Amino acid sequence: MQKKSLSFPSGRTDFYFSATLAQLKTVADPRYSVIITDEHVFEAHARKLKGWKLIVLKAGEEQKVQATVDTIIQQLIELEADRKTTLVGIGGGVVTDITGYVASVYMRGIRFGFVPSSLLALVDASIGGKNGIDVGVYKNMVGVIRQPAFIMHDISLLKSLPEKEWRNGFAEIIKHACIKDAAMFRELRAQKLAHYQKKTSAIAALVQRNALLKARVVQKDETEQGDRRLLNFGHTLGHALENQYALMHGEAVAIGMAFASKMSEQLLGFRQAAQVIQTIEQYGLPVGMEFDRKHAAEILRMDKKRERSSLHYILLEKIGKGTSRSLPLEQLTQLFLEIR
Amino acid sequence: MQKKSLSFPSGRTDFYFSATLAQLKTVADPRYSVIITDEHVFEAHARKLKGWKLIVLKAGEEQKVQATVDTIIQQLIELEADRKTTLVGIGGGVVTDITGYVASVYMRGIRFGFVPSSLLALVDASIGGKNGIDVGVYKNMVGVIRQPAFIMHDISLLKSLPEKEWRNGFAEIIKHACIKDAAMFRELRAQKLAHYQKKTSAIAALVQRNALLKARVVQKDETEQGDRRLLNFGHTLGHALENQYALMHGEAVAIGMAFASKMSEQLLGFRQAAQVIQTIEQYGLPVGMEFDRKHAAEILRMDKKRERSSLHYILLEKIGKGTSRSLPLEQLTQLFLEIR
């Protein structure tokens, strides 16, 4: 187990790399902790969770809503959770988002940490302190920013991960490469998904590289006034499509990245759109779909990144260099109708 | 209008004393603001609220629940509120608590401010950044700490305040005097409620004194590790009784203060319990009631101030000097059964 502490404006997170779930009791006392997980993780790892107080949720993005928060709070009251209780979210992004949110509002905030069980949660969702829930078709409409006390990586949990969840995680890895890390982009182009699935040391190194890349962006800009906006690459159109068409998050982001690459071509003279699109496809992700373009443009009006009549859209200058541009909603609507 | 800015660890609040509601547009732009208020305030001041986007809630503590938060969020989405929107809570403690909470979680936090319309909100509820909602019989079980951007005092709003609401506010004023301000306690003993109700300059001065007293306690201890705990004087038993017996907050706190004064007599040799009790009665508030003492002791188990098997209880050493003592739950249960 290798510990690395990172400080953010709102608090410190201790990262534990190369750890195992069995070591969780060294950072959270089972007597004063409650684990929140979902039925899939619970079924796959029930034996390792013995002796912990557990709240087991149904699995799925559609659970990331206020009704689930209400249920968890009722259970915390029944378990007599108090201000000294630690909540531990073990699961994918839905579990970590909802655990962070509940811990931020229960008794005005208690300690919490994560053991991410999906690739997407390891490289993205668990990091940076954004938490929250969806409201109708609007993703993460409600939440706060508060850093977890710890994030523990047990790469062996990926063994039970379905194939589609691997692809889901690689969408965010490709995103990181596109906006910030041209060397990683070249590595991804040279490899295949199967390489990382087979070789533990390769995926462990890639996960750590991505986790630290994201954490460092957030350290400098926790409240998303500047550089953190780049992490939304592929996410604006992505979010507009995800809940509406019941896509996986990675699929939605992949389509969003392909689209934003073409927008970058048109608006900034970006020349590597074809490479981005190839790489997305190489990792088994979609690069386009038929969608109601007018309706998607309307959903943008309620995107959190909107500020009055403009919206911060993330484009690429070149691979490894993302940029945020404030675009008027009218222009965006036009681009949505034009670009194929 | 007299401006005074106070800094807290989590943010700055601009106080505007001697203001009028008509001046609200100088601190919040009507085009990009949404006012949250309740039906009583709306009926009393509808004319002054023309030209603002409004969300009008039903009145009453029973509205301070998640279902109301859900409704407000739906309306904010329909009003296309975004990250640059300001929420303004105009009302009593229920309105300010719920406005602060919604503004803290909507899109992970937007700007908000208050125009308190009740005496209790002016001297207490609007100040200090605690916000939240009740869960069943448990008061403020869910919430966060986040400071309002502004608090504007329009004392003329008190003209439409019902008599019982005046008494309600004086419970918190007496509390401040007991824990921190012996000189104010002497003033309260020398005066009557009617004096403050008649004389605008007297109530304006008393309100400002109390608002600043509370704000300064919070400045030094926003997250309630020390001195801020004193503000819970009368609130532990008070909260256990309030929702269960449908008391007004001030009534519940008054009974709690009388009880805590007797506990202080027994545990600390406090000699002025009779004076505290007299003063509470002088302002038309109750000093005792029949209640299920066993059940009240059980509710304490879920009080936010509990830490494992003990609870921080606020007692008085002398008038003007409160003190926090960690008492085992067993001892508290015993005291609850004994003290009459």
pLDDT tops 90 at residue A48: yes
CB spacing of A105 vs B132 below 8 angstroms: yes
How many Å lie between the alpha carbon of B79 and the closest alpha carbon of chain A? 10
> In the sheet that A150-152 helps form, which strands lie side by side, from edge to edge?
A2-8, A11-17, A150-152, A111-116, A86-91, A33-38, A53-57
pLDDT tops 90 at residue B69: yes
User: Is B108 noted as a catalytic residue in this protein?
Assistant: yes
Q: Which residue of chain A is at minimal alpha-carbon distance from B76?
A: A302
pLDDT value at residue A137: 80
pLDDT value at residue B107: 96
How many Å lie between the alpha carbon of A144 and the closest alpha carbon of chain B? 4
Residue of B316, B311, B305 whose CA lies nearest to B331: B311
Residue B135 has its nearest CB partner, among A77, A83, A301, at A77
Residue A66 has its nearest CB partner, among B70, B106, B108, at B70
Q: How confident is the model at residue A308 (pLDDT cuts 50, 70, 90)?
A: confident
Residue of B320, B313, B309 whose CA lies nearest to B336: B313
Q: Tokens 């704000």 — which residue?
A: B215
Local structure of B59: helix, strand or coil: coil
Given CB atoms, is A65 within the 8 Å cutoff of chain B?
no
Residue B302 has its nearest CB partner, among A66, A80, A301, at A80
State percent of chain B over pLDDT 90: 91
pLDDT value at residue A303: 77
Q: What is the mean pLDDT of residues A300-311?
A: 80
Q: How confident is the model at residue B302 (pLDDT cuts 50, 70, 90)?
A: confident
Residue type, B109: G
User: Is A228 noted as a catalytic residue in this protein?
Assistant: yes
CA B78 to chain centre: 30
CB spacing of B82 vs A109 below 8 angstroms: no
Given CB atoms, is B302 within the 8 Å cutoff of chain A?
yes
State percent of chain B over pLDDT 70: 100
pLDDT value at residue A142: 98
Q: What is the mean pLDDT of residues B20-44?
A: 97
Instruction: List the single range of A20-24, A293-297, B219-223 with lowest mean pLDDT.
Output: A293-297
CB spacing of A82 vs B145 below 8 angstroms: no
User: Is B40 noted as a catalytic residue in this protein?
Assistant: no
Stronger pLDDT, A151 or B299, i.e. the higher one:
A151
pLDDT tops 80 at residue B227: yes
Write down the catalytic residue from A130, A139, A175, A262.
A130
pLDDT value at residue A232: 96
Q: What is the mean pLDDT of residues B233-253?
A: 93
pLDDT value at residue B330: 92
> For residue A308, which residues of chain B lie inside 8 Å, CB to CB?
32, 82, 84
Q: What is the mean pLDDT of residues B4-31?
A: 96
CB A187 within 8 A of CB A293: no
Work out the mean pLDDT of chain A and round it to a whole number.
95
Interface predicted TM-score (ipTM): 0.90
Q: Which residue of chain B is at minimal alpha-carbon distance from A75?
A: B135
Q: What Å distances lie between residue B324 and B260, B302, B305, CA to CA? A: 11, 18, 11
> For residue B306, which residues of chain A lie inside 8 Å, CB to CB?
82-83
pLDDT value at residue A54: 98
Q: Which residue of chain B is at minimal alpha-carbon distance from A300?
A: B80
pLDDT value at residue A88: 98
pTM, two decimal places:
0.92
Name which of A29, A108, A299, A305 to mutate to probe chain B: the one with the most chain B Cβ atoms within 10 A of its Cβ: A108
pLDDT value at residue A298: 87
Token couple for B168: 């309600």
Separation CA B29–CA A56 (nearest Å) = 45
User: Is A62 noted as a catalytic residue in this protein?
Assistant: no
Q: What is the mean pLDDT of residues B289-314?
A: 86
The DSSP annotation for B155-188 comes to GGGGGG--HHHHHHHHHHHHHHHHHH-HHHHHHH
pLDDT value at residue B87: 98
How many Å lie between the alpha carbon of B312 and the closest alpha carbon of chain A? 12
Q: Which residue of chain B is at minimal alpha-carbon distance from A69?
A: B66
Residue of A329, A337, A289 whose CA lies nearest to A309: A329
Q: How confident is the model at residue A307 (pLDDT cuts 50, 70, 90)?
A: confident
Q: What is the mean pLDDT of residues B21-34?
A: 97
A181-216 confidence digits (pLDDT tens): 999 999 999 999 999 999 999 999 999 999 999 999
CB spacing of B108 vs A306 below 8 angstroms: no
> For residue B66, which residues of chain A lie inside 8 Å, CB to CB?
66, 70
Separation CA B306–CA B68 (nearest Å) = 27
Instruction: List the single range of A19-23, A62-66, A278-282, A308-312 with lowest mean pLDDT.
Output: A308-312
Instruction: List the single range of A156-160, A301-305, B129-133 with lowest mean pLDDT.
Output: A301-305
pLDDT value at residue B39: 97
User: Is A175 noted as a catalytic residue in this protein?
Assistant: no
User: Is B153 noted as a catalytic residue in this protein?
Assistant: no
pLDDT tops 90 at residue B191: yes
CB spacing of B308 vs A32 below 8 angstroms: yes
Separation CA B266–CA B269 (nearest Å) = 6
Listed by number, the residues of chain B in 141-200 with a beta carbon closer than 8 Å to a beta carbon of chain A are 141-145
Given CB atoms, is B111 within the 8 Å cutoff of chain A?
no
State percent of chain A over pLDDT 70: 100
How many Å lie between the alpha carbon of B32 and the closest alpha carbon of chain A? 9
Q: Which residue of chain A is at minimal alpha-carbon distance from B141?
A: A107
How many Å lie between the alpha carbon of A338 and the closest alpha carbon of chain B? 26
Given CB atoms, is B71 within the 8 Å cutoff of chain A?
no
Q: What Å distances lie between residue B11 and B40, B108, B150, B319, CA to CA? A: 31, 16, 11, 32
CB spacing of B109 vs A307 below 8 angstroms: no
Token couple for A67: 């009704």
Q: What is the mean pLDDT of residues A290-295?
A: 92
- Within chain B, residue ranges assigned H as helices are 39-45, 66-78, 93-105, 119-120, 163-180, 182-190, 193-198, 200-220, 235-242, 249-268, 273-282, 293-300, 329-338
Write down the catalytic residue from B131, B168, B210, B232.
B232
pLDDT tops 80 at residue B185: yes
User: Is A214 noted as a catalytic residue in this protein?
Assistant: yes
User: Is A235 noted as a catalytic residue in this protein?
Assistant: yes
Taking the CA atoms of residue B92, residue B94, residue B99 and residue B102 in that order, the dihedral angle to the nearest 10 degrees is 180
Residue B191: burial class (beta carbons within 10 Å; 0-12, 13-18, 19+) = middle
Write down the catalytic residue from A53, A153, A209, A239.
A239
User: Is A176 noted as a catalytic residue in this protein?
Assistant: no
Name which of A33, A69, A142 to mutate to probe chain B: the one with the most chain B Cβ atoms within 10 A of its Cβ: A142
pLDDT tops 90 at residue B298: no
CB spacing of A84 vs B143 below 8 angstroms: no
At B133, which helix (H) or strand (E)?
A: strand B133-135
